[in-house]
């Protein structure tokens, strides 16, 4: 009977790409240390960092060989051999070697993708393979660092399987048989973790072993024996006469591939518990309905409330399974910043915080491109060249900070740089050149900043591989808006630029406020609501040819009547008969006039696009408890619609009340 290995391919590809990501992340940190600390830093690199990179290459080599991906295995072996020279102390990793290893990691990633998709191998694979072999042949041992023994006549091994060792199909006996084939061994079993008989679980490995093997051999021979149990055990391999080398068997991978989600056992156990409670509640309600009398109405009501509570818990638990850490996206950006900076002759470091902030998997998969655009723009337009930074009293290397955190039911992502800031004079000149503003028009700085998000707008004088085509920030804003989010920018000349992205936690369910307009009900996501209030007719003004404006605490806000936008008959015609909802998006505010607020509720989003064309001001739909369909308002679209009349308002400012005239051109 043969085993169909193809069913394991998806897991192999997923774990291999995770390993490549770990290698890239660790190599970027090594390159940063070496570039700033020189030879001294190269001689004092963290041995565990090198071991981590080596283990990833070794695992990819072993897996690809097992599954018949020989080209991947051969290239990984060449990469592994060079890494082994470094971790054994036979060569220093200088800036050139780090760059070669990063290029090799790129090639290895491309080879894995080619094997996964049955595509062609990268064209530079043979060239890089030869470079790795030449680098290994030219290895030079560092003078100031003791060389760790690559071979020894006696090896000491500490081997402790974890609780789930048997669940992954592993067997300690196979390890011992393979060790015996290498040479004589002496073992001592550690039974200190054995439980009492009543608590014994035959599917758990409670033993650990101290093993001594007397045979002159290279460390690689032992690594090959334990290659398939790395991650399923605690393992220490050392030569008693040399400096101990510890292998940490816990994989250093937090981010998971987007093609699947790995769920912690605790989350699955929580789901099972909630489903059990739901079954109990359903059984109770069934019995109540069968023998229902009016006296049992209170019990029925309590049972329905309990069902609602369990349903909400189940909903939260399921959404929690879909949540992934933003580190999955963030981890790709330091390499991008490094490559763009190298191309432009700049020095850039990236600082990341909040990478454990979780976001819905569907959003994580679509936020990558906007973040890439922002980081590229920060390196290209924001960070100055080292000589310019030095003249300004700044460090030669620029810094880009990436931060994520929760705020008001949303996830906020900040991209900040300490560069030159936005060149507002050049932006205004470009806007006037394109006829976007009059030659003598006065314009607020915040409005100047908004021009960078216009399609085709670029201040670059030349077109390059990095920028100048006018494609980028308009795509960023549009992509984020399709996710139900918004993006804002602020800048200080000579100090840097800050982009702030606000995103919903999930695209599946949203907390919303039900609004009634005539006979129709609309849902407005709570995240966009700043406040609700009642206004009087004297608070409303309307310049000739312009939209209505209301005064809210000395601030003038455009008023939108939903009945006119969606062509429905409202019950309230005068502003004092209904309510006004202040909505904020992209740092701008508008007032929505509605008949009444019905209350807050959670709604499940249903896309309209498969059934009809995109509707301006509408993002999706939902089904209410009574079976009717309610449309979900697109706050960003409504804000843009209201503020598109800003030019009309500025032209008609003389028609406003004197106190409002000065504010007409800068509506919030």
Residues 217, 235, single domain; the answer is yes
CA 256 vs. chain centroid, Å, equals 11
Model pTM? 0.61
CATH number at residue 351: 3.30.565.10
Residues 405, 498, single domain; the answer is yes
pLDDT value of position 588:
80
260 part of a folded domain: no
Residues 365, 492, single domain; the answer is yes
Burial pattern 472-499, b for ≥16 Cβ within 10 A else e, equals bbbebbebbbebbbbbbbbbeeeebbbb
376 part of a folded domain: yes
Strand partners for 510? 603
356 part of a folded domain: yes
Last-in-domain residue among 190, 217, 247: 247
pLDDT value of position 466:
54
Residues 118, 206, single domain; the answer is no
Q: How far is CA 363 from CA 324, 358, 499, in A?
A: 10, 10, 18
Q: For the chain, what is the radius of gyration of the CA atoms?
A: 32
Alpha-carbon distance of 189 to 207, in angstroms, equals: 7
Q: What is the dihedral of CA 504, 510, 513, 517, to 10 degrees?
A: 100
- In 3D space, the residue among 562, 622, 626, 547 whose CA is nearest the CA of residue 597 turns out to be 562
- In 3D space, the residue among 539, 534, 542 whose CA is nearest the CA of residue 572 turns out to be 534
Alpha-carbon distance of 610 to 425, in angstroms, equals: 45
CATH number at residue 216: 3.30.70
Each residue's pLDDT tens digit, 552-608? 877 888 888 888 888 888 888 888 888 999 988 777 888 999 999 998 888 887 777
Angle at 88 between CA 86 and CA 90, to 5 degrees: 60
461 part of a folded domain: yes
According to DSSP, residue 606 is labeled: B
Residues 446, 538, single domain; the answer is no
CATH number at residue 548: 2.40.50.180
526 part of a folded domain: yes
pLDDT value of position 648:
43
CB-count exposure of residue 272 (10 Å: 0-12, 13-18, 19+): exposed
Residues 88, 182, single domain; the answer is no
Last-in-domain residue among 486, 504, 522: 504
According to DSSP, residue 149 is labeled: P
- For 123, the domain range is 5-137
Contact 75, 91 (CB under 8 A): no
CA 88 vs. chain centroid, Å, equals 35
Three-state SS for 236-248 is EEECCCCCCEEEC
Residues 175, 198, single domain; the answer is yes
143 part of a folded domain: no
Last-in-domain residue among 247, 273, 303: 247
81 part of a folded domain: yes
Three-state SS for 21-39 is HHHHHHHHHHHHHHHHHHH
Q: Coil, strand or helix: which one is 455?
A: coil
Alpha-carbon distance of 503 to 476, in angstroms, equals: 13
Residues 187, 217, single domain; the answer is yes
Residues 421, 514, single domain; the answer is no
142 part of a folded domain: no
Residues 197, 109, single domain; the answer is no
CATH number at residue 93: 1.20.120.160
Burial pattern 314-341, b for ≥16 Cβ within 10 A else e, equals beebeeeebbbbbbbbbbbbbbebbebb
Rounded to 5 degrees, φ, ψ at 473 are -70, -30
Alpha-carbon distance of 39 to 34, in angstroms, equals: 7
Residues 604, 515, single domain; the answer is yes
Each residue's pLDDT tens digit, 156-175? 899 999 877 877 667 888 88
| Number of structural domains found in the chain | 5
Strand partners for 401? 351, 416
Listed as ranges, residues in the chain with pLDDT below 50 are: 1, 143-150, 241-258, 463, 465, 468-471, 646-668
Residues 375, 478, single domain; the answer is yes
Alpha-carbon distance of 133 to 131, in angstroms, equals: 5
Each residue's pLDDT tens digit, 82-113? 888 887 777 788 888 888 888 899 999 999 99
């Amino acid at each position: 009977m043969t085993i169909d290995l193809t069913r394991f391919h998806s897991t192999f590809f997923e774990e291999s790409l995770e390993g490549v990501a770990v290698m890239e992340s660790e190599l970027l940190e090594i390159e940063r240390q070496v570039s700033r600390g020189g030879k001294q830093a190269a001689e004092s690199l963290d041995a565990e960092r090198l071991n981590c990179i080596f283990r990833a290459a070794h695992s990819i080599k072993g897996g690809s060989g097992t599954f018949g991906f020989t080209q991947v295995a051969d290239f990984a072996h060449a990469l592994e051999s060079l890494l082994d020279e470094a971790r054994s102390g036979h060569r220093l990793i200088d800036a050139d070697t780090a760059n070669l290893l990063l290029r090799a990691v790129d090639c290895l990633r491309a080879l894995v993708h080619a094997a996964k998709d049955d595509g062609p191998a990268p064209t530079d694979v043979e060239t890089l393979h030869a470079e790795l072999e030449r680098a290994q042949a030219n290895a030079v041992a560092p003078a100031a660092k003791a060389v760790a023994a690559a071979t020894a006549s006696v090896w000491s091994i500490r081997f402790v399987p974890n609780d789930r060792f048997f669940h992954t199909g592993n067997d300690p006996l196979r390890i011992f048989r393979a060790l015996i084939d290498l040479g004589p061994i002496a073992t001592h079993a550690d039974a200190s973790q054995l439980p009492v008989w009543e608590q014994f679980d035959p599917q758990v490995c409670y033993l650990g072993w101290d093993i001594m093997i007397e045979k002159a051999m290279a460390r690689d021979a032992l690594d090959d024996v334990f290659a398939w149990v790395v991650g399923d055990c605690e393992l220490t391999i050392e030569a008693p006469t040399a400096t101990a080398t510890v292998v940490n068997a816990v994989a250093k991978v937090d981010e998971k591939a987007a093609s699947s989600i790995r769920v912690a056992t605790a989350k699955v156990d929580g789901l099972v518990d909630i489903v059990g409670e739901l079954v109990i509640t359903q059984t109770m309600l069934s019995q109540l309905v069968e023998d229902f009398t009016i006296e049992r109405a209170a019990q029925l009501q309590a049972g329905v409330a309990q069902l609602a509570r369990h349903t909400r818990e189940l909903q939260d638990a399921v959404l929690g399974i879909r949540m992934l850490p933003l580190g999955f996206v963030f981890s790709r950006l330091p390499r991008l910043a490094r490559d763009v900076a190298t191309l432009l002759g700049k020095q850039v470091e990236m600082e990341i915080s909040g990478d454990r902030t979780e976001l819905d998997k569907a959003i994580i998969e679509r936020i990558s491109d906007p973040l890439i655009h922002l980081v590229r723009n920060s390196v290209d337009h924001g960070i100055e060249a080292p000589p310019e930074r030095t003249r300004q009293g700044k460090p030669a290397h620029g810094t880009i900070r990436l931060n994520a955190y929760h705020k008001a039911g949303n996830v906020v992502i900040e991209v900040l740089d300490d560069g030159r800031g936005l060149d507002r004079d050049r932006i205004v000149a470009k806007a006037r050149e394109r006829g976007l503003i009059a030659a003598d028009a006065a314009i607020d700085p915040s409005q100047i900043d908004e021009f960078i998000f216009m399609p085709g707008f670029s201040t670059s004088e030349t077109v390059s591989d990095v920028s100048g085509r006018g494609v980028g920030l308009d795509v960023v804003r549009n992509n984020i808006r399709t996710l139900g989010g918004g993006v804002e920018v602020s800048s200080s000349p000579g100090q840097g630029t800050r982009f702030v992205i606000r995103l919903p936690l999930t695209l599946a369910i949203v907390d919303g406020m039900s609004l009634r307009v005539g006979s129709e009900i609309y849902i407005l996501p709570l995240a966009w609501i700043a406040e609700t209030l009642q206004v009087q007719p004297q608070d409303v003004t309307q310049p000739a040819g312009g939209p209505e404006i209301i005064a809210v605490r000395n601030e003038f806000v455009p008023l939108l009547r939903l009945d006119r936008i969606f062509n429905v008959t409202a019950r309230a015609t005068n502003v004092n008969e209904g309510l006004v909802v202040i909505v904020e998006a992209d740092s701008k505010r508008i007032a929505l006039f509605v008949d009444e607020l019905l209350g807050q509720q959670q709604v499940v989003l249903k896309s309209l696009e498969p059934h009809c064309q995109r509707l301006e001001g509408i993002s999706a739909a939902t089904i209410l408890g009574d079976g009717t369909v309610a449309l979900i308002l697109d706050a960003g679209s409504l804000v843009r619609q209201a503020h598109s009349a800003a030019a009309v308002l500025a032209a008609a400012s003389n028609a406003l009340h004197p106190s409002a005239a000065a504010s007409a051109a800068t509506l919030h």
